[in-house]
């Protein structure tokens, strides 16, 4: 480069608002370079798609030369001046130069000089050839010489190129580099993006970073997401912006439809044709050979089969250096299988973006804002950020009046728009039959339900959900958020639409029934009506009042010939299921029924895998289990009149999970000598049960036992169970369990293969060696420990979660907290502690009363490993929001604090609980925190409490630490939800929900 002076104009505002006809104007001395350097440069610019003005190529015949050239200069975004040895001889060239420099100052034109076989100082100081030329001009063109001299000085002070110093003087490579830099200086297409492409600029920028334009190698990037989410629009936008930077470009759209209609051969021909490749030979080898040495851009839109990718973009080595392949698809699996470099997850529109897009298609014009604003918000809420839905609904409503808008919104609740459903249904149509059934069950029954419980129900139905759910996630049909199934509202609506089919008002013809009004309609039909099409039913009530209203529904189950799954609240028949012919039934869950028995006598249900009976107050007997050879899960709770469980339970060879609780009169529990696959056995709140010692310890896979109110006779079972690594008791009545210590003392299993935890223990005389050193989760809330000190917990260096609510006396709360902060959680994990009537010394006199507290982060944040939050409150089950963000909200900084207590005015203890949480910065390494400049932390709760926050200085690890993924911290079997959940993660802020 010749000089460091910038070529940017004095005012960037002029540049950004200018409209240009030509990309580049070439100024050169024809007899020096027209058929050599400039000729090659012009060809390279044209090949790159850069619209270039070159006088002998562009000037129309018969036009006056001077005005045409001056106009072309003014209409060009970049002026490239090729200074050659004889450039200064031509008064014509010098006039061009002077006009170019004038346009630079007035129009914001970019000037880029090339010093071809001449030193920049010769041009700047008019030496040698340039000096000789100006000596002649002084005699002939005195009036213009000064303006020419100034133009030469200004132009030669601009950073430019000297081809003899580029690529070791290799002219072809030098020209390629010059063209690349010119291309990068051209005004981006994003500045003139179609105004309808709301939110596109930011999404384009993110995608450009992933494409790494300008870097070497071949890069494949997949754009993945839900149908109608804007994948193709984003691909078109990036294609338009960067296509000029490649030797060849091709956008292959609608591959799913086109390949099915015409075959892959036609698509290959399209690629070759658009790349202007001579089609000699044919097929895959041709694409491979022809593009191997070319820098190409190919967009493959709406791919739904791996064969399509293999045919059109087989591997990275098919394409030349710098090539980019962009693939849009709804199936994430295709991208991972094809080994793309990056998968770009399409982001749906935010609320503000959605309302802007909707208004583009449904403008208010002169209609009153008050009439349409509320309705617009309802439509946007319905669309859920899906661009397709916003566009379709906006276009439909654009010429409708206020009443028609209202009518449309009411209709959408019952009948979704077919254009939207049709687009979304493409993903469903591509599923295998078993995956379709799995998706429909989740859409109708399990959205918002905990993943673990739903998976067991789906597995009982034979849907093999482990692999099936993975496929549905990859197809962008469902997500898992906070360990619960979720999906886009319109995707769920599409599932409901498929189930209702052509009979939306005839629920007896639906495969799944989940609405109370549909159940009522079916129950109101003639008792002889056959319900052959119903496969699954759920009936549940939000309140007891609703249950009372519907509790005497007529029986319908007897007429459902193909029922495989039922969850029912209330009574079905009397006696329940007495005429039940369901050999197809796999899953049975009943709530709040008044029945005394499920069915009379022996009944063969060979496929039934799950029975759950909740709060059946009148139940006096369980079924005969001999007719249930494949039962895997049996849960029984809240059956207060039940005294014994049928002796045939002992024959359930496939039983895996058995739970019995809150059965106050239960006295008899049968021997289960043949139950060899049992993994979990739970008893709670069964004070009359004394026959547990008859359970035979021949269940080799039993890893976990819950015990409750069962007396010391339980101990004989515990002692004789060789595979029991630890004991969990829930509100036990026993005061001492002999043999427990030897079962749980320092388990030899490595911590990454087990999650030791003790919960709700009611045992006294716990020795120092009781707690395993790998213990992670300790819950001893409301245990009658008296004055016994739990001192050995401080030796548990993997401890992350402690709950000691109730009348416990901990040896020293500060000692425990200090121990946990010195342990293995300090660098990479969260910590959660629940105490009673205790305030750690670090927060004494530093708690503020209010609902919001702000902690400012210092510049030397690297000296701290995380931060502590303390909450002293009377709130039961508080939700605390911890927000980390960049900007400081002056109004919130202690803005709602009413009192600042000191050591002498600590919170009153009566009715309060103390919660301490720790968030390590290492636990946020997978979030935007690692690349952010957050400078504040805001802690807020919905009711007035005492809140404090403190940074924790970084300490030496004191030995080797093992970093564990934070998702593995909380024990899945014992905690329904983790105490810390990242609700939102963005560049502007991170929102962490703490539920201690």
Catalytic site positions: 96
* Nearest partner of 222 among 299, 322, 318, 323, judged by Cα: 299
How far are the Cα atoms of 172, 304, 570 from residue 237, in angstroms, in the given order? 31, 21, 56
CB atoms within 10 A of CB 543: 8
Angle at 934 between CA 930 and CA 937, to 5 degrees: 115
Give the span between the Cα atoms of 48 and 54, in whole angstroms: 16
- Looking at residue 149, the DSSP 8-state letter turns out to be H
Q: ω into residue 497 within 30 of 0, thus cis? A: no
CA distance linking residue 72 with residue 702, whole number of Å: 85
Residues with Cβ < 8 Å from 501, sequence gap 6 or more? 509, 510
Q: Specify whether the CB–CB gap between 335 and 224 falls below 8 A.
A: yes
Tally of residues, the chain: 996
d(CA 915, CA 912): 10
Taking the C-alpha atoms of residue 86 and residue 79, their distance in angstroms, rounded to an integer, is: 19
Which string of DSSP letters, residue by residue, matches 45-91? HHHTT--EE-HHHHPPTTS-HHHHHHHHHHTEEEEEEEE-TTGGG-H
Q: How many whole angstroms separate alpha carbon 525 and alpha carbon 441?
A: 25
Q: How far is CA 738 from the centre of its chain?
A: 49
Distance CA 317, CA 476 (A): 30
Task: State how far the Cα of 387 lies from the Cα of 226, in Å rounded to an integer.
Answer: 11
Dihedral sign, CA of 512, 516, 517, 519?
positive
Q: Is 436 helix (H, G, I), strand (E, B) or coil?
A: helix
Task: Provide CB contacts within 8 A for 324, sequence distance 6+.
Answer: 211, 213, 218, 219, 220, 221, 242, 246, 296, 297, 298
Which residue in this structure is represented by tokens 């660098």? 827
> How is residue 802 written in tokens?
């402690």
Per DSSP (E only), the strands in 671-819 are 680-684, 704-707, 728-729, 757-759, 777-779, 801-803
Distance in angstroms (rounded) separating the CA atoms of residues 917 and 489: 34
CB of 645 closer than 8 Å to CB of 624: no
| DSSP-derived 3-state class of residue 498 | helix
Q: Phi and psi for 699 in degrees, rounded to 5?
A: -100, 95
Spatial strand order in the sheet of 324-329 = 248-252, 296-303, 324-329, 219-224, 342-345
- CA–CA distance, 782 with 773 (Å, rounded to integer): 23
Q: 876-885 burial, b if ≥16 CB within 10 A, otherwise e?
A: eebebebbbb
**What span, in angstroms and rounded, lies between the C-alpha atoms of 269 and 285?**
13
In 212-296, alpha helices (H): 231-242, 255-262, 264-274, 284-291
DSSP 384: T
Q: How many other C-beta atoms can be found within 10 angstroms of the C-beta atom of residue 78? A: 22
Q: Answer for the pair 59, 111: CB distance below 8 angstroms, yes or no.
A: no
């Amino acid at each position: 480069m010749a000089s460091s002076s910038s070529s940017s104009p004095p005012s960037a505002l002029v540049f950004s608002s200018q409209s240009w006809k030509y990309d580049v104007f070439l100024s050169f001395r024809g007899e020096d370079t027209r058929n050599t350097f400039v000729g090659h440069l012009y060809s390279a610019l044209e090949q790159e798609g850069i619209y270039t003005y070159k006088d002998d190529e562009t000037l129309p015949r018969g036009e006056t030369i001077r005005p045409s050239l001056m106009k072309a200069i003014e209409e060009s975004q970049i002026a490239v001046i090729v200074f050659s040895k004889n450039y200064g001889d031509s008064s014509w060239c010098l006039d061009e130069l002077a006009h170019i420099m004038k346009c630079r100052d007035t129009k914001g034109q970019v000037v880029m000089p090339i010093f071809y076989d001449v030193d920049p100082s010769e041009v700047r100081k008019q030496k040698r050839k340039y000096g000789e030329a100006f000596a002649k001009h002084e005699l002939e063109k005195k009036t213009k010489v000064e303006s020419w001299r100034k133009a030469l000085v200004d132009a030669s002070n601009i950073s430019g190129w000297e081809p003899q110093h580029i690529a070791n003087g290799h002219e072809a490579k030098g020209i390629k580099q010059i063209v690349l830099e010119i291309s990068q200086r051209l005004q981006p297409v994003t500045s003139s993006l179609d105004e309808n492409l709301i939110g596109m600029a930011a999404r384009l920028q993110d995608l450009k970073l992933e494409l790494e334009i300008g870097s070497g190698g071949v890069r494949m990037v997949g754009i993945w997401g839900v149908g109608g989410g804007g994948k193709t629009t984003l691909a078109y936008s990036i294609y338009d912006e960067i296509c000029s930077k490649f030797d060849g470009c091709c956008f292959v759209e609608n591959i799913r439809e086109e390949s099915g209609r015409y075959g892959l051969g036609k698509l290959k021909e399209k690629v070759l044709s658009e790349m202007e490749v001579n089609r000699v030979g044919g097929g895959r080898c041709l694409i491979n050979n022809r593009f191997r040495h070319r820098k190409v851009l190919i967009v493959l839109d709406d791919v739904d089969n791996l064969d399509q990718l293999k045919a059109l973009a087989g591997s990275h080595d098919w394409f030349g250096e710098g090539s980019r392949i962009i693939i849009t698809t709804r199936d994430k699996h295709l991208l991972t299988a094809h080994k793309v470099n990056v998968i770009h997850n399409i982001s749906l529109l935010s609320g503000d973006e959605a309302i802007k897009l909707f208004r583009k298609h449904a403008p208010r014009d002169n209609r009153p804002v008050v009439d349409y604003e509320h309705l617009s918000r309802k439509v946007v809420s319905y669309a859920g950020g899906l661009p397709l839905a916003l566009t379709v609904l906006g276009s439909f409503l654009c010429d409708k009046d206020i009443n028609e808008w209202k009518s449309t919104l009411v209709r959408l609740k019952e009948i979704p728009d077919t254009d939207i459903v049709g687009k979304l249904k493409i993903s469903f149509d591509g599923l295998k039959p078993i995956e379709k059934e799995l998706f429909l069950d989740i859409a109708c029954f399990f959205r918002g339900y905990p993943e673990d419980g739903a998976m067991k129900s789906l597995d009982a139905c034979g849907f093999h959900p482990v692999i099936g759910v993975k496929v549905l996630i990859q197809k962008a049909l469902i997500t898992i958020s906070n360990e619960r199934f979720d999906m886009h509202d319109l995707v769920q609506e599409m599932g409901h639409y498929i189930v209702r089919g052509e009979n939306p008002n005839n629920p007896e013809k639906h495969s799944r029934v989940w609405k109370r009004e549909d159940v009522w309609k079916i129950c109101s039909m003639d008792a002889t009506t056959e319900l052959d099409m119903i496969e699954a039913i759920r009936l549940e009530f939000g309140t007891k009042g609703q249950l009372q209203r519907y509790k005497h529904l007529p029986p319908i189950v007897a007429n459902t010939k193909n029922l495989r799954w039922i969850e029912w609240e209330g009574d079905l028949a009397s006696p329940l299921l007495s005429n039940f012919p369901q050999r197809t039934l796999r899953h049975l869950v009943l709530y709040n029924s008044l029945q005394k028995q499920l069915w009379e006598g022996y009944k063969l249900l060979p496929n039934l895998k799950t029975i759950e009976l909740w709060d059946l107050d009148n139940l006096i007997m369980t079924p005969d289990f001999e007719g249930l050879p494949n039962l895997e899960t049996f849960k029984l709770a809240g059956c207060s009149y039940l005294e014994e469980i049928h002796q045939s339970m002992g024959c359930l060879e496939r039983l895996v999970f058995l739970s019995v609780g809150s059965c106050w009169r239960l006295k008899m529990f049968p021997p289960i000598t043949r139950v060899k696959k049992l993994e979990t056995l739970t008893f709670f709140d069964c004070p009359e049960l004394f026959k547990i010692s008859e359970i035979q310890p021949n269940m080799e896979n039993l890893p976990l036992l819950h015990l409750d109110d069962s007396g010391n006779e339980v101990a004989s079972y515990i002692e004789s169970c060789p595979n029991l690594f630890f004991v969990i008791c829930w509100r036990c009545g026993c005061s001492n369990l002999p043999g427990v210590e030897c079962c749980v003392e320092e388990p030899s299993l490595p911590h990454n293969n087990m999650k030791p935890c003790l919960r709700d223990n009611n045992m006294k005389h716990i020795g120092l060696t009781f707690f395993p050193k790998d213990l992670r989760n300790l819950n001893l809330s409301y245990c009658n420990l008296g004055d016994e000190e739990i001192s050995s917990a401080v030796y548990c260096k993997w401890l992350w979660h402690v709950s000691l609510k109730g009348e416990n006396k901990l040896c020293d709360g500060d000692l425990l907290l200090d121990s946990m902060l010195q342990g293995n959680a300090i660098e990479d994990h969260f910590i959660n502690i629940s105490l009673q009537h205790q305030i750690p010394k670090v927060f004494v006199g530093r708690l503020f009363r209010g609902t919001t507290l702000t902690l400012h982060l210092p510049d030397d944040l690297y000296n701290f490993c995380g931060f502590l939050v303390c909450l002293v409150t009377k709130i039961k089950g508080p939700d605390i929001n911890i927000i980390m963000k960049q900007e400081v909200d002056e109004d919130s900084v202690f803005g709602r604090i009413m009192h600042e207590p000191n050591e002498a005015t600590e919170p009153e203890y009566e009715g309060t609980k103390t919660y301490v949480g720790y968030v390590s910065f290492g636990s946020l390494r997978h979030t935007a925190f690692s690349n952010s400049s957050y400078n504040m932390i805001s802690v807020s709760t919905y009711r007035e409490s005492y809140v404090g926050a403190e940074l924790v200085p970084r300490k030496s690890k004191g030995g080797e630490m093992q970093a564990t993924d934070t998702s593995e911290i909380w024990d899945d079997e014992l905690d329904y939800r983790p105490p810390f959940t990242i609700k939102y993660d963005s560049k502007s802020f991170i929102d962490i929900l703490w539920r201690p």
